[in-house]
Structure 1
């Protein structure tokens, strides 16, 4: 940002460019209260609450001559902050839409595969840390775990001259609105869900253990594996012998939480059994591709965020911890539940209708679907 022409607001896409450029001339100041910042923030931002009596001086000291970009949840407090700062001669702009607006920005990168005729894209959503995937071959593609902002997937498919023929949700999501059913209706693609996750609608094909989805002239096979624990119907998708899309079963820095439904002890046992079985039966070097990333993950990285199964198994103690110890640690270290998760589950089940004007507010907040081993 030029200090002589600092606009009142910076769009989320402009912020993406600033961060990709290293933001050396800009300091990101989150003006929310400390407890809000600790719960959910943009990597690299500093927290200086607007409510503090020495707010202006602290920002001046922190900025050290750099332009200031203020951040809050939806852009209201940050706009008030720049008015205060500008009155004191400090060049400042506000992030339009705040963290909620930042959650509408996506970045994408290719996951390397040996099969040159198959492409696998990882699509990461800023702020929420969610990940979707597109598997493409021979002019057809499968979209896995799409968010409600389906234009992102339609645009990618159009630019790649690829027809969306299948849409999959690996599980019934609790922290964000699924776009799977909407995308299926928009494109005419087959929708695949596991019936064990109890949906109130029936216009989908059952995603069963061992089932296959084929795309392209070569019939590239994507194999379903029932991996219960995070939810009863959680299903992973294996792409040849190179990668597994695991949904929220496990993560690069943690494992899925089992307590967003009833019978959490039963779900925790299933999760333990699932993780141990995967560590035992799959190739240790197979790439794990989760549906979420932990806070602090390098979401703007030009490289795919993935890790071999052996590394994740070692971090989380699959096989090295007894079931009793695993359950004790798992059930006593669950983080706060996602805001509005019960409403989101009802919407994703088809039990409640979604008012699009409420979607952003329902999804507000960080990813809370994983338990990190550091808590163990």
Structure 2
């Protein structure tokens, strides 16, 4: 019996990054597909048939004959069955090893155009998870904001561009991904800066409302923006770029309810209302670079960015009283992210030994309210 070949995430990521023709066939149930998916993939709702052993589950699926096919499911088991059926038709087909769980660690990058002289900004995107981290560099110095990938990713990017990482920052205590910031700082000797809080159980340099960091030809300024979490900060670079963490997204705002009682949610909603008004009062032309996106990130090298002016127009519903805002916000809160309590506790301690990230982090992020 012919063995069905598999493909690892790194290879598929490289294919997509280099524009190699490939058909990605997603065989998960529709509800799972709607949560998160690989950009450009095709969905066929045959999971139940495959699980039941239906040997004809893919008889009506037509794909290009001379393009490799990669089948995908949640963990890589049903996709093997699907690949076997397509292989019997004479197609070049692979099953994605580890499925969407493994794909949660796949990433791509985009250069962010900026008017800042002698400043480069690189957006690093977890394509399935939607986590966005950043490298900002000037005159060979670089800082990393919200590192969500293995530290080797940032080390390799810094080496490729000839940058020395001198600062590593987080915007808040994350609940949807493991923060790699502490490990990255230890690996590079960079200063680790986190919002001043009693939540973190390891050494770091506290970020306060007075924090400013010189970086080559520019300056980073910390802005307290509590609401999503009590310790949330945004970072303003050179008066023209705002790294908004989970406070502002390209089409929504951060949720205030995670790990909070009813009274705490109300308190955080009030704080969020004030933080949003602070940020939306900044110049309309200010670029906003968020900490997440709710959609799979295509391999298109197009940065996920908006402006204060565009957000002010989209978020007209936040320009109401604190009470009216809280009522509207609470009616919009989505389901909680997977494993958010476990991830939060791990990020508090900063020790991930014995942890398999793709098991803990699997699933879409649900941080935004729009």
Give your verdict on TM over 0.5: yes
Corresponding residue of 1:303: 302
Distance 2:24 2:162 in 1: 38
Shift of the alpha carbon at 1:223?
Answer: 0.3
Distance 1:103 1:326 in 2: 33
Distance 1:83 1:72, change over 3 A: same
| Contact in 1 for aligned 2:9/2:103 (Cα 8 Å) | yes
Task: Find out whether 1:10 has 2:11 as its counterpart.
Answer: no
Corresponding residue of 1:335: 334
Shift of the alpha carbon at 1:64?
Answer: 6.0
Distance 2:270 2:182 in 1: 30
| Contact in 2 for aligned 1:105/1:126 (Cα 8 Å) | yes
Distance 2:355 2:192 in 1: 25
Three-state SS of the structure 1 residue aligned to 2:332 is: coil
Corresponding residue of 1:39: 35
Distance 1:368 1:59 in 2: 36
Distance 1:104 1:320 in 2: 37
Three-state SS of the structure 1 residue aligned to 2:258 is: coil
Shift of the alpha carbon at 1:241?
Answer: 1.6
Shift of the alpha carbon at 1:315?
Answer: 1.1
Corresponding residue of 2:273: 272
Task: Find out whether 1:184 has 2:182 as its counterpart.
Answer: no
TM-score by length of 1: 0.88
Higher RCO structure (Cα 8 Å, ≥6 apart): 2
Corresponding residue of 1:3: none
Structure 2 residue runs without a partner (length 5+) = none
Q: Deviations over 1:4-41 (max 9, x none)?
A: xx982233244335545777x64322222232222222
Q: How does 1:50-69 map to 2 (within 5 A)?
A: 50-52=47-49, 56=56, 58=58, 60-63=60-63, 65=65, 67-69=68-70
Which shifted more, 255-264 or 11-20? 11-20
Corresponding residue of 2:168: 167
| Contact in 2 for aligned 1:117/1:137 (Cα 8 Å) | yes
Cα RMSD, aligned residues only = 2.3
TM-score by length of 2: 0.89
Corresponding residue of 2:225: 227
Distance 1:341 1:349 in 2: 12
Distance 1:358 1:332 in 2: 35
Deviating 4+ runs (over 6 angstroms): none
